[in-house]
Amino acid sequence: MLKRPLCLIAVFLLVLQAILVGGFEIAQGLKPSYLELNYREREKVSLIGKVYDREIKNSTQLLYLKSISSYHSDKVLIFLRNETFPEQNIKIGDTIEVFGRIDFFDVSRNQGNFNQKFYYQKQGICGQIRAERVGLISTQSDVNPREFFLVFKHAWQNRLIEELGDKYGGLLSAILLGERNSIGQETKNLFQKAGIGHILAISGLHMSFFGIGCYGLLRKTGASFLWAGLAVLILLILYTAMVGLSVSVIRALCMFAIRIGAEILGRNYDAINSLAISFLAVFSWRPLSIFDVGFLFSFAAVLSLILLRPVFKKILFSTKKQSVKDKIIIANLKMSLSVNLAINLMLFPILLYFYFEFPVYSILINMLLVSLMPIILGAGLIGSALLWIPFVGGNILQISKGILWFYETTCEFFLALPFSRMVTGQPKVWQIVVYYVCMLAFYLYFRRFQKEQKEINRPTRQKLQWKMAIFVFFMMMTLFPIHYFHKDLTVTMLDVGQGDGFFMRGPKGNTYLFDGGSSNVNAVGLYRITPFLSFQGVHSLDYVFVSHGDTDHHSGIEELLLNQKNGIKIKTLVLPAADSQDESLKMLAGLARAHGTRVSVIEAGQSLTEGNLEIYSLGPSKDYDLLSSNDSSMILSIRYGDFSMLFTGDIESNGEQVMVRQGLLEKHKVLKVAHHGSKTSSTEMFLAEVSPKVAFISAGIQNLYGHPHGDVVKRLKEQGIVIFNTQESGAVTIRSDGQKMKISTFLR
């Protein structure tokens, strides 16, 4: 007989939804909205809707609007800049008319990039409007609880920032109130890279602290199970309404409610069934949320505590009698180590799948830091409550600030140690499946000893520990990056918007980046280049080539240089010959040296080799006067067996003529079209000399320059050249074994 049918139902729904959305993409939540079907990007729209939520930021209000049109009910985000609407006082529940240009969310255009469209689709939001005009049609006369909580939370956040400053006040606001908008990106990255990013999100840890703490306090004062449970449950519901309905909060609230209900009714609490009921509640509320990393982390972490932690505790630790003092210390050590081992083992493939790297010292960091969270929460709550008493509340809040400083210092210390981050890239789905099958075998094998033997003698425990170590090692190896076994040459044209960026992995594993910048994508290095490189398992670039000094070819590289401490390290920056460098390139060279990157130049006639791979410089040549900065672009020829590719920077027709006249050009199978397909490049004479079979064009969607120009596209097609353009294809990858080549596009 099935003892836990709810668990089986939960697993069935999880697998079914994964197939529908992840495999065949036929879930209703992925269908285009009415606005997407009837309006073009940047088209002006007028929309009447009801505000169902809002966020308050420093210079902007963000309204969540649900259309109340009779023929559609799409949800959109409305951005109100405070300087444009200084007196606009819109509340949750108000009905407004908004006029402005609509933008639809972008899909990810490179491997590893954030899929903004899918993120908002999971919330039912289809687009965003930057308001040019807003009119209030009707206001809600009754007091709206959500509006009250929003104003209360914002006022609380401001007081914390006043007392502790922007950094630590923002951190404490995130921990207590779920307000992460005031945390700097650098601090977020630091905590995430160290493996404690979870403390910045309201989770079961917070709910347990507030719920169990208050429940225990009420019980000690003599309150009955019923009244103590109901009081705490109401308190947690109000807290949930204030911090927001995130998946982890709903999961924790459901499980706590079931636990309290079991105590009130005098029933045994079944953690697995409680987790299954919580899953069904979240699934019914927001089915697509099962693809949120927060959902997977929250449910997988709790599952690991239920299943794996008792196994680790049984196998790793003896139950010999100790003194009371030693017993308390060892019990805490057992708890902390077994909890962290269980959680890390369960979350390891999820972490690699979404973040492409693993913080090696995270178990130790979490053992040191998470135990201090109750003090941060307690001091934060008590200090906030006593701020009306001069010097009292503020001094108590300093306790939280001191611990947060310790958190920051500890993370910086461990990240500065050797091998602090293991960048593996994203594992394949089949690798993750194999990992969890091995974990199931691991659990079933060791669970037998946990059930059958109350006490395990020392020799048996040592044998079990060796077997456990072998199991864990084998599980880790199932996620080993398979790109280490590839001996082919791969070249990827990244979609960086209006700019250039090409990544290449050599046959022996060396990594190269040819340009990396954009004129229309903000923070292209942070949001497009770095995630792609991490997805590929790249922790350092052996060589980065910059063709010339235009910003759209090196803005992202500047970001990489500045963020090498916790990002992608650049070993060697390669620039054109010194007499071809403008002030921009000289500045880039100085920045590289200041951050520990070697700077080199490559002149015409020089080459770099990796086995059978050759990177040969064709220009710029010293033998002619360059007429423009674009004509001073570095020209590189890549050859690997029968495969060949020509990188042309932004060279224009004058530079092309000189290269043809001097006989520098040879035939290449693949051409990186110069200057994003500008009319001034890719002349007929040049194309005839290179005679490519395939052309790559990197250009932004609806860019201001009209790239690629129609004449260039026409010339390419007339010569029978197959064109791949980032505007339609996103990232494009070539893989070659030196004889054949295979081309794949990221977007279908």
Q: Give the Cα separation of 508 and 406 in Å (integer).
A: 42
Q: Give the Cα separation of 33 and 26 in Å (integer).
A: 14
**Residue type for position 175:** I
Answer whether 506's CB lies under 8 Å from 478's CB.
Answer: no
Give, as one character, the DSSP assignment of residue 386: T
529 Cβ contact list (under 8 Å, min separation 6) = 494, 496, 501, 513, 516, 556, 559, 560
Predicted confidence at residue 295, as pLDDT, reads 86
Predicted confidence at residue 84, as pLDDT, reads 67
How many CB atoms are closer than 10 A to CB 41? 12
Predicted confidence at residue 511, as pLDDT, reads 97
Answer whether 724's CB lies under 8 Å from 493's CB.
Answer: yes
pLDDT at 464 over 60: yes
Closest CA relative to residue 671, chosen from 636, 708, 633, 700: 636
Cα-Cα-Cα-Cα torsion 231, 236, 241, 247, nearest 10 degrees, comes to -150
pLDDT at 18 over 80: no
- DSSP-assigned letters across all residues of 550-576: -HHHHHHHHHHHHT-SSS-EEEEEEE-
214 Cβ contact list (under 8 Å, min separation 6) = 231, 232, 235
- Tokens read off for 569: 């390290």
Q: Give the Cα separation of 404 and 165 in Å (integer).
A: 12
Q: What is the pLDDT of residues 670-691, one digit of tens each?
A: 999 999 999 989 999 999 999 9
Answer whether 77's CB lies under 8 Å from 129's CB.
Answer: yes
Predicted confidence at residue 581, as pLDDT, reads 86
Q: Give the Cα separation of 532 and 534 in Å (integer).
A: 5
Q: Give the Cα separation of 331 and 322 in Å (integer).
A: 10
Binned at pLDDT 50, 70 and 90, residue 199 comes out as confident
Binned at pLDDT 50, 70 and 90, residue 26 comes out as very low
pLDDT at 28 over 70: no
Binned at pLDDT 50, 70 and 90, residue 88 comes out as low
- Residue 691, CA distances (Å) to 228, 350, 635, 713 in order: 81, 46, 16, 15
Q: What is the pLDDT of residues 280-335, one digit of tens each?
A: 888 888 777 777 888 888 888 888 888 888 888 877 776 555 555 555 556 667 77
Q: Which range (140-144, 214-218, 308-312, 652-656) has the least confidence?
A: 140-144
pLDDT at 600 over 50: yes
Predicted confidence at residue 27, as pLDDT, reads 40
Share of residues in the chain with pLDDT > 90 (%): 45
Predicted confidence at residue 257, as pLDDT, reads 87
Phi, psi (deg, nearest 5) at residue 317: -125, 145
Give, as one character, the DSSP assignment of residue 605: T
Predicted confidence at residue 29, as pLDDT, reads 45
- Tokens read off for 342: 């269980």
The verdict on whether omega for the bond into residue 5 sits within 30 degrees of 0, i.e. cis, is: no
pLDDT at 48 over 70: yes
Q: What is the pLDDT of residues 383-435, one digit of tens each?
A: 999 988 878 899 999 999 999 999 999 999 999 998 898 999 999 989 998 99
631 Cβ contact list (under 8 Å, min separation 6) = 620, 651, 652, 654, 655, 658
Q: Helix %, strand %, coil % for the chain, to 5? A: 50, 20, 30
Sign (positive/negative) of CA torsion 334, 203, 405, 363?
positive
Q: Is 5 exposed, middle or buried (0-12, 13-18, 19+ CB in 10 A)?
A: exposed
What is the pLDDT averaged over residues 110-122? 90
Closest CA relative to residue 232, chosen from 247, 217, 249, 250: 217
Answer whether 393's CB lies under 8 Å from 386's CB.
Answer: yes
Q: Is 33 exposed, middle or buried (0-12, 13-18, 19+ CB in 10 A)?
A: buried
Q: Give the Cα separation of 516 and 548 in Å (integer).
A: 11
Identify the residue with better confidence: 691 or 624: 691
* Secondary structure of residue 375 in the 3-state scheme: helix
Length in residues, the chain: 748
Q: Which residue has the tokens 């420093």?
A: 58
Give, as one character, the DSSP assignment of residue 165: H
Predicted confidence at residue 23, as pLDDT, reads 47
**Residue type for position 396:** I
Identify the residue with better confidence: 267 or 546: 546
Q: Give the Cα separation of 208 and 370 in Å (integer).
A: 13
Closest CA relative to residue 658, chosen from 626, 691, 692, 690: 626
Sign (positive/negative) of CA torsion 308, 310, 314, 318?
positive
Predicted confidence at residue 122, as pLDDT, reads 82
Binned at pLDDT 50, 70 and 90, residue 30 comes out as low
Give, as one character, the DSSP assignment of residue 19: I
| Residue 699 parent element (H or E) | none
Binned at pLDDT 50, 70 and 90, residue 666 comes out as very high
Residue 122 CA, distance from chain mean position? 16
Share of residues in the chain with pLDDT > 70 (%): 91
- Tokens read off for 657: 């003529």
How many CB atoms are closer than 10 A to CB 242? 19
What is the pLDDT averaged over residues 547-556? 95
What is the pLDDT averaged over residues 507-528? 95
Closest CA relative to residue 604, chosen from 553, 523, 665: 665
- Mean pLDDT over the full length of the chain: 86
Q: Give the Cα separation of 405 and 434 in Å (integer).
A: 40
